[in-house]
Structure 1
């Protein structure tokens, strides 16, 4: 009995993780026969989980929305509150939190009844559009793209470039990534036959999505590193500094969210980084809290001297401090 209950939870997690599953795939993941999968699906249906059978050659099972909210240990008000909170977190631009919120939101919206979805949408303007313009991304756009990434479905969208020009794109979406205060989509551009990085706030997707595709292998395998490298090359000001910390350190991993880290030896690494101006770069480097040497950064020394003089003036005007507490 305990083994069956554990298997039901694993089956439910699989159905929530992807849109469509064949009976054979589920059987392979669970280590059982397809007949056992059919029996477990019936048990989930008895618990009011809306598991639909998809007919055809590529048929299988799909967890869809039901007439009422399946047992998630949430009542209606709690489900609405959770969806609204996840929408706000998804649009916040906060690293890691935003991406996790999108994954959770996709799972919740997949089974949210229409009557509750209307209540969530009713408060969308105040819940989604309150972040700063740099991070204002429509939650529906995130949801559409996130679902397409999860279900391996092509997406066609209008894209506004940095110069204001609009183009129509057809892509195979790979992953959503937050970098700084913005969301980016890593995708294979079907018309250009190459990997591309798109700012999500410049995307206007066309629905419905589809057809499905076989995922490609991203060069390097790390979507976050791919975005950092792509965005870093777009900055007007480019620089290289040597950080006094190994490439495997936590500080270097943090620096990799701003640019590309290159190992040098066991005590240092090179950071290839970009910014709008040398002044902006001084603040990025200061936030890393590690010593560094300028390798190739025209104009950076001038701004470092300027900010050092400001700090020294601030220190000279500070009242004397008492002895530090133990």
Structure 2
């Protein structure tokens, strides 16, 4: 490849990275003068590449938005980064749209130079994942894009949704934000029909349709990620657990994250919350109790179980098992 042709392709790559590039910046990057930059731009325009001239103090050149471009040019590290991102996203359940991630990766892989493809194979051969691909359902791409647009423009949407029992229904939602957590996607906002905040899993949303002629306001300080996480801790489950734990909220939160438990400092006058020490009341909702005794033990702090009685029994049995293990180790 001749040097002028290579510089023209480098110019295209710089413009494809986005934004407006000044003539001085392009000249410095290409190692030429301003007149030569303008000549290279004319060559791109002759090839039907939509280069725009931007006037003014901060003017220069940019590519016209929304116009089809020639194939993107990736460096070795860029190509590897894109492919590994697609693979990791699919494994983590963060790539929506069924096979879209696979087809995108395949298209890039087909045009990789042999040397770069070998580097990618080296990485994949040495890489292990802790979960199976496709272990979690992914949302429909059109649903995700529709909801993202509704969040940005504060436009209500009509949702068709299937709950955990498979029952289908139609809801209206003011979507405040979209959250990806632990391989799943959620949309959270307000249901105006019942005037309550709601969170929906996107893989259970079968269709989303924007409602024209309406808008809404997001409450000041609303944090979509925090709303989703606290929703996990307050959802309806088989057991409602309340435990008083000696320590600060920060100390207890290390073992009981916001997605698991609601925490509040105890009032000193309450029974068991005095003595000059800080106490925290933890409220947990759970389908099973077997995981709680080890977590409480890992806190290594005094605690009082307020409810349920089944948890007291589970903790006592757990303590007896640990004691029996210790006795067995001494006698072995």
Q: TM-score, normalised by structure 1?
A: 0.57
Residue 4 (structure 2) aligns with: none
Instruction: Report the Cα distance in structure 2 between the residues aligned to 1:71 and 1:200, rounded to whole angstroms.
Output: 34
Residue 114 (structure 2) aligns with: none
Superposition RMSD on alpha carbons, in Å?
A: 4.6
Residue 311 (structure 1) aligns with: 322
Report whether the alignment pairs 1:296 with 2:307. yes
Q: CA deviation at 1:196?
A: 0.9
Map residues 9-158 of structure 1 onto 2, 5 A cutoff.
43=60, 46-48=61-63, 50-51=64-65, 64=66, 66-68=68-70, 77-78=79-80, 80-85=82-87, 87-88=89-90, 91=93, 118-120=103-105, 130-132=133-135, 135-138=136-139, 140=141, 142=144, 145-146=147-148, 148-158=150-160
Residue 192 (structure 1) aligns with: 194
Contact 1:47-1:71 at 8 Å conserved across structures: no
Residue 284 (structure 2) aligns with: 273
1:1-38 deviations in Å (ceiling 9; x for gaps): xxxxxxxx9989xxxxxxxxxxxxxxxxxxxxxxxx98
Residue 50 (structure 2) aligns with: none
Instruction: Report the Cα distance in structure 2 between the residues aligned to 1:192 and 1:152, rounded to whole angstroms.
Output: 19
1:293-323 deviations in Å (ceiling 9; x for gaps): 21222310111122222223333344799xx
Match of 1:261 among 260, 263, 285: 263
Describe the SS at the equivalent of 1:169: strand
Residue 246 (structure 1) aligns with: 248
Describe the SS at the equivalent of 2:215: coil
Describe the SS at the equivalent of 1:299: helix
Residue 61 (structure 1) aligns with: none
Instruction: Report the Cα distance in structure 2 between the residues aligned to 1:77 and 1:10, rounded to whole angstroms.
Output: 18
1:32-63 deviations in Å (ceiling 9; x for gaps): xxxxx9859964xx343x53xxxxxxxxxxxx
Residue 235 (structure 1) aligns with: 237
Instruction: Report the Cα distance in structure 1 between the residues aligned to 2:59 and 2:215, rounded to whole angstroms.
Output: 29
Q: CA deviation at 1:150?
A: 4.1
With 306-315 and 279-288 compared, the bigger mean Cα shift is at: 279-288
Q: CA deviation at 1:170?
A: 2.5
Change (3 A) 1:179 1:259: farther
The total of aligned residue pairs comes to 248
Q: CA deviation at 1:89?
A: 6.2
Change (3 A) 1:209 1:38: farther
Q: CA deviation at 1:165?
A: 1.4
Residue 204 (structure 1) aligns with: 206
Contact 2:139-2:204 at 8 Å conserved across structures: no
Describe the SS at the equivalent of 2:172: strand
Q: CA deviation at 1:273?
A: 0.8
Instruction: Report the Cα distance in structure 2 between the residues aligned to 1:38 and 1:151, rounded to whole angstroms.
Output: 30
Q: CA deviation at 1:288?
A: 5.3
Instruction: Report the Cα distance in structure 1 between the residues aligned to 2:229 and 2:329, rounded to whole angstroms.
Output: 39
Residue 19 (structure 1) aligns with: none
Change (3 A) 1:233 1:315: same
Residue 161 (structure 2) aligns with: 159
Larger Rg: 2
Residue 222 (structure 2) aligns with: 221
Instruction: Report the Cα distance in structure 1 between the residues aligned to 2:209 and 2:297, rounded to whole angstroms.
Output: 44
Q: TM-score, normalised by structure 2?
A: 0.56
Describe the SS at the equivalent of 2:249: coil
Contact 1:275-1:281 at 8 Å conserved across structures: no
